[in-house]
Structure 1
Amino acid sequence: MEATAREFNQRSSQILAAAARGETVTVTKNGVAVARVVPITGDDIPPYPTDPMGDLDLPELGLPDLDDEEIEDTLRGMGS
C-alpha cells in the first residue's frame, strides 16, 4: 500500500490499522518514498525487559560479602 504524506496526515488511524493487519505502507512526498509503516512481529519485541526496573546480571568481581554494619563502618571512614 502507498500513501502520500497528506493522506498519511489525514488518514493516519486507517493507515496504522492497515499495518496492524499486516500491511506495509510506504509514505511518499512529492512522489519520493520518505517513510515506511510496517507491522510489528513477535520477533521485533525483545525477549528481555528494556525498562530500568528489569533484573540486572552483575558480573562476579570476587569482592568480599559485607554486612550492613561493615559497609557503614567503611563509609564512615571515608568522610572528611
Structure 2
Amino acid sequence: METTAREFNQKSSQILAAAARGETVTVTKNGTPVARVVPITGDDVPPFPSDPMGGIELPDLGLPELSDDGIEEVLKGMGS
C-alpha cells in the first residue's frame, strides 16, 4: 500500500489499522518514498518495558556493601 504524506496526516488511524492487519504502507512526499509503516511482530516487542537509557554500568568504587539497616544508620547519622 502507498499513501502520500498528506493522506498519512489526514488518515493516520486508518493507515495504522492497515499496518496492524499486516500491511506495509509506504509514505511518499512529492512522489518520493520517505517512510514506511510496517507491522510489528511478537518478536519485535520485548516482553517487558525496556529502559530508554539502556543498561547502566556503575564503576566499582571499592565501598563496603551496606544492608538496608546499615543505610538507615548512616542516614540517621546525617541528621535526616
- Equivalent pairs: percent with the same residue? 76
Q: SS at 2:39's partner residue?
A: coil
For residues 13 and 72 of structure 1, the distance between their equivalents in structure 2, rounded to whole angstroms, comes to: 52
The residue number in structure 2 matching 1:57 is: none
Which blocks of at least 5 consecutive residues in structure 1 are unaligned?
A: 53-60
Superposition RMSD in Å:
2.8
**TM-score, scaled to structure 2:** 0.65
Structure 1 range deviating more: 1-10 or 23-32: 1-10
Segments of 5+ residues of structure 2 without an aligned counterpart are 53-59
Number of residue equivalences: 69
In structure 2, the partner of 1:71 is: 71
Superimposed CA distance per residue, residues 31-51 of structure 1 (whole angstroms, 9 cap, x where no aligned partner): 111111111110111134325
TM-score normalised by the chain length of structure 1 = 0.65
Provide closer, same or farther for how the CA distance between residues 73 and 20 of structure 1 changes in structure 2, counting only shifts above 3 A. closer
Q: 1:15 to 1:67 in 2, by over 3 A?
A: closer
